[in-house]
Structure 1
Amino acid sequence: MKAKLVFLGRLEEQAGRGFEDIAASAPLDWTDVLGWLGDWHSIEFAEAVDGEKVKVALNGALVADKHGIVLNDGDEIAFLPPVSGG
């Protein structure tokens, strides 16, 4: 199973790249994704992504409850940081 993680805005800066392809032997739930982010980047980065201000889109659609996400083969999950505007 392969999936793509996409980091937008300042999350891209923190991650050091705009995306990361991941492979797993089975679908990944939200806890698995956070564990992978913690191992790949840092626990602090995973905690930031898990925070209530970071929104998540799965295959282009915003997800209301990111804790219910399950990534399957070919899925793309995008992490959207809070945006300030005026």
Structure 2
Amino acid sequence: MTARILFLGPLADLAGAAEMQAQTPLDWAGLLSLVNAETKAELQNERINVACGGKVLAVKSELMAQDGDEVALLPPVSGG
């Protein structure tokens, strides 16, 4: 039982991979425990959003990924 974790944009560079698999159920604390210290610090930035199952979470600490879910870690978007 796993979820797919996607590190988008510069988060992939920090994490050292564009994606990873994680055992489910997976909550926010569990996700943070899987990544390196630099990635963990960046994910805690309020400008980073989290989507689970295609829906952006209003509060990322409410993450609860189940088997087959895709969790996308979304960096701030810039541009014009």
Q: How high is the TM-score relative to the length of structure 1?
A: 0.83
1:32 positional shift: 1.0
1:8: which partner in 2?
A: 8
TM-superposed deviation, 1:16: 2.5
Unaligned runs of 5+ in 1: none
Specify the alignment match of 1:74 in structure 2: 68
Two-structure CA RMSD over aligned residues (Å) = 1.3
TM-score (norm 2): 0.88
Within 5 Å, give how 1:15-26 maps onto structure 2: 15-24=15-24
Tell me how far 1:23 sits from its aligned partner. Answer: 2.6
TM-superposed deviation, 1:22: 1.8
Q: Please identify runs of 4+ aligned residues in structure 1 that moved more than 4 A.
A: none
Partner-residue secondary structure (3-state), 1:46: helix
Identical counterparts, % of pairs: 40
Give CA-to-partner distance per residue, 1:50-83, whole Å, 9 cap, x none: 2101011111111111101111111110001012
- How far the C-alpha of 1:17 sits from its partner, in A, is 2.0
Aligned length: 80
- Is residue 45 of structure 1 aligned with residue 69 of structure 2? no
Partner of 1:65: 59
